[in-house]
Amino acid sequence: MLAVFAAAFLYLALGEPWEHTIKHAHPYSYLASDAYLHQAMAQYAKDSGRVKFAAPYSIGGYEESMDMHPPMLSQISASLSLMTGIEVYDITMFSAASALLLAMLAAYFIWRRGSKAIALIALPTMLFMLTGRLPALTYWGYWLLLHGVMLLLAFFWALTHWEKKGMPFVAGVLLSAIALTHQPEMVFAGVFFAGFLVLKIWGEKSWKERKAAIVMVKKIAAVGIIFGILSFYSLLIFSKTYLLSEGYRNAWDPEELRGGYPVFNLGDLGLFGIIAILGVAGFFLMKKEKLWKPASVSLYCFILGFSIFFGLGKRGYAHRLFWFIYLSFFFGLAVYAALRIFLKNIHGAIPFGIAIFLMVLIVPKIYGNTKIGPGSMNPYDWEALQWIGRNIPPEGYVYYFYSDALSHNAPIYSSKRIGFNIRLQEYIQAIQSGNIQEKYTFGLADGYTVYLHPLSPFSFCYYAHELKPRNGSLECLPTYQRYIKVSKEDEVKNLCDISYYYFDKQASQPVLAQYNMAIREVLLKNGWIKEIYSNPLVSILQNEKPGDDCVAQSA
> What part of residues 16-55 is at the interface with other proteins (CB under 8 A)?
18-23, 45-46, 49-52
> Under the criterion CB under 8 A, does residue 423 sit at the interface with other proteins?
no
> Under the criterion CB under 8 A, does residue 169 sit at the interface with other proteins?
yes
147 vs 417, which CB is nearer to other proteins?
147
Integer Cα distance of 42 and 86 in angstroms: 13
273 vs 294, which CB is nearer to other proteins?
294
Please pick, from the candidates 80, 388, 445, 540, the single residue that binds other proteins as defined by CB under 8 A: 80
Please pick, from the candidates 61, 71, 141, 184, the single residue that binds other proteins as defined by CB under 8 A: 71
Q: What is the CA radius of gyration of the chain?
A: 27
Q: Report, in Å, the least distance between residue 343 CB and other proteins.
A: 11
169 vs 533, which CB is nearer to other proteins?
169
215 vs 522, which CB is nearer to other proteins?
215
Query: Using N-to-C axis directions, what is the helix angle for 292-304 and 328-342, rounded to 10°?
Result: 140
Residues in 181-210 at the binding interface with other proteins, rule: CB under 8 A: 181
Residues in 435-494 at the binding interface with other proteins, rule: CB under 8 A: none
Residues in 129-168 at the binding interface with other proteins, rule: CB under 8 A: 147, 150-151, 154, 157, 161, 164-167
Integer Cα distance of 54 and 303 in angstroms: 35
- 69 phi and psi, to 5 degrees? -75, 150
> Under the criterion CB under 8 A, does residue 322 sit at the interface with other proteins?
no
Q: Report, in Å, the least distance between residue 492 CB and other proteins.
A: 40
What residue type is assigned to position 168 of the chain? P
3-state percent breakdown (helix, strand, coil) of the chain, nearest 5: 60, 10, 35
Please pick, from the candidates 29, 39, 234, 542, the single residue that binds other proteins as defined by CB under 8 A: 234
Integer Cα distance of 489 and 498 in angstroms: 12
Asked whether 335 and 278 are in contact (CB, 8 A), the reply is no
> Under the criterion CB under 8 A, does residue 340 sit at the interface with other proteins?
no
> Under the criterion CB under 8 A, does residue 173 sit at the interface with other proteins?
yes
Integer Cα distance of 337 and 331 in angstroms: 10
Q: Which helix (H) or strand (E) holds 400?
A: strand 398-400
> Under the criterion CB under 8 A, does residue 230 sit at the interface with other proteins?
yes
Residue 439 CA to its chain's centroid (Å)? 36
Q: Report, in Å, the least distance between residue 116 CB and other proteins.
A: 5
> Under the criterion CB under 8 A, does residue 231 sit at the interface with other proteins?
yes
> Under the criterion CB under 8 A, does residue 368 sit at the interface with other proteins?
no
Q: Report, in Å, the least distance between residue 393 CB and other proteins.
A: 26
Strand 398-400 relative to strand 419-422, pairing: parallel
21 vs 508, which CB is nearer to other proteins?
21
Query: Using N-to-C axis directions, what is the helix angle for 292-304 and 143-160, rounded to 10°?
Result: 150
151 vs 334, which CB is nearer to other proteins?
151
SS3 (DSSP) at 477 = strand
- Which alpha helices (H) appear in 85-128, and where do they start and end? 88-114, 116-122
Integer Cα distance of 536 and 137 in angstroms: 33
